[in-house]
Amino acid sequence: MHKTLTSIAAALLLTLGTGAHAQNLVVNGDFELPALATDSFNTYTNLGGYGATTWGSDSTSGTLKIVDVADNQFMAFGGGDSAYTAFGVSTGGAYTLSFDYEGSGFWALFNQDTTSFVSTGPLVQFNGTGSESTVLNLNGGDNYKLYFGSAGAGLPGMTSGMHLDNVSVSAVPEPETYAMLVAGLGMLGFMGRRRQQR
């Protein structure tokens, strides 16, 4: 009986863990496809073929540069380069946009159905090395285009290149989800105590 309760608790915790990590709407946001040889790079006209969405280039060169350093792949931008990916949102609500960066750049999120920017500015600048995390309200049934670009050369305090990795747009879990899982764990604990008392 104790093994059964342990199995149920483990399954519940696994559900809690996977539920906390909502599905990423951005395809190939870690730039691990296609796989490159360690410490190498390649250029592409697009990074399609991994689902309905693709990474495309708005750069003057029309190419995207993927770099591998010690088995970690990321997108590299030269001065003035930019790239985008498109995705659709089935359920409206709060979504977290997050990514890692090094260098100087900007991001922008454009709603293709309302023809308006969701991001403020519309370009949101960043500089240095770090991670960005922003909560945005997205409309269910709408299609979006997420842009990234490097700052142009010659801007004061800005570098002319940028590295981008781990791009994610995922739904913010609702508080009710956590409440139900905590209640379930509490019920399992209560059942376990009752069985021990017998």
For residue 172, give the DSSP letter: P
Q: Which residues contact 98 (CB under 8 A, 6 or more apart)?
A: 131, 132, 133, 134, 166, 167, 168
Domain count, the chain: 2
pLDDT band with cut points at 50, 70 and 90 for residue 185: low
Residues 101 and 149 in one domain: yes
Residues 7 and 81 in one domain: no
Residue 121 has a pLDDT of 78
CB 91 within 8 A of CB 137: no
Whether pTM exceeds 0.85: no
Structure tokens at 124: 């949101």
Residues 179 and 149 in one domain: no
The mean of the pLDDT values for the chain is 80
- Boundaries of domain holding 178: 1-22+174-198
Helix (H) or strand (E) holding 84: strand 82-88
- Per-residue pLDDT for 176 more than 80? no
**Which residue's entry shows tokens 């796989």?**
35
Residues 32 and 18 in one domain: no
Residues above pLDDT 70, as percent of the chain: 67
Number of H helices, E strands in the chain: 2, 10
- Per-residue pLDDT for 116 more than 80? yes
Distance (Å, rounded) from C-alpha 196 to C-alpha 38?
A: 55
